[in-house]
Amino acid sequence: MKLKVAQTKQEVALNFSRYLAILIAAREEVHIALSGGSTPKIVFEELAANFQEDIDWKAVHLYWGDERCVDPTDDDSNYKMTVEYLISKIEIPKENIHRIKGENEPDYEAKRYAELLDDNLPKSDGGVPSFDLVILGMGDDGHTASIFPHEIDLWHSDKLCEVAVHPDSGQQRVSITGKVINHAQIVTFLVTGENKVDKVDEIINKKGDFEKYPASLVAPNSGNLIWFLDAAAAAKIT
Ligand code: 6PG
């Protein structure tokens, strides 16, 4: 596990964007699972504004680690946010965009997306579809992707995708499972804000109820786990 701590959210976005540009430049084809949330939004803005010349998006295939079960035009849609802040501003072939179809019936979509991952992604040694990079956020309840503490068993599913339910809103989500996340070549967390400071401390220092938080289960077999944090979220671990 590596920690990269920057003072501000903007610096986290710059650090991650530089990291991503180097990773993409080193590969012919890159399969990346994106996250929703406010921190990725800042990264997408940074990539669109300052990394147009640094990244050959034709080599990149974009997927999502989770999606809300809403139309792609809905303000809650992770895909819609990504189109607004990134996809609409870069030269990426539309056939390289592999969205979770939130408008579909959730159980059907979980199966469809699992098949898409199985068809599209290189396989790990164990035959599990393996992303080059999974980008994750972490909720202040310790959830990641859309695996929430009250449904932590979904993390251990033998399936590649599961249907989850947000604990407060009841909104259904389609999420990749721990099986997919921990078979990725690289996993990065993008976590910022003082509201994350306690969970970051508990998870990284394995304190308190850390095992109840899905984010604590992120441990890629490859060993390549990097936390990109701002000073506020990292205040108790540095
Ligand atoms: C989602 C995200 C979710 C997000 C966390 C952190 O669909 O809501 O995938 O897992 O990463 O809630 O969100 P922030 O970055 O906004 O804190």
Residue 125: the pLDDT is 85
**Has this prediction a pTM greater than 0.85?**
yes
Contacts of residue 125, defined as CB under 8 A and 6 or more positions apart, other chains included, come to none
Residue 100 Cβ contacting ligand 1 at under 6 Å: no
Calculate mean pLDDT across residues 37-61. Answer: 95
d(CA 183, CA 191): 21
Q: Domains of the chain, with CATH numbers?
A: 2-130+139-191+212-226 (3.40.50.1360)
Tell me, in angstroms, the distance from the centre of ligand 1 to residue 172's CA.
Answer: 14
pLDDT tops 80 at residue 149: yes
Is 191 in contact with 39 (CB distance < 8 Å)? yes
Residue nearest to atom 11 of ligand 1 (CA): 137
Confidence of residue 71 (pLDDT cuts 50, 70, 90): very high
Residue 188 Cβ contacting ligand 1 at under 6 Å: no
Residue 49: the pLDDT is 95
Confidence of residue 238 (pLDDT cuts 50, 70, 90): confident
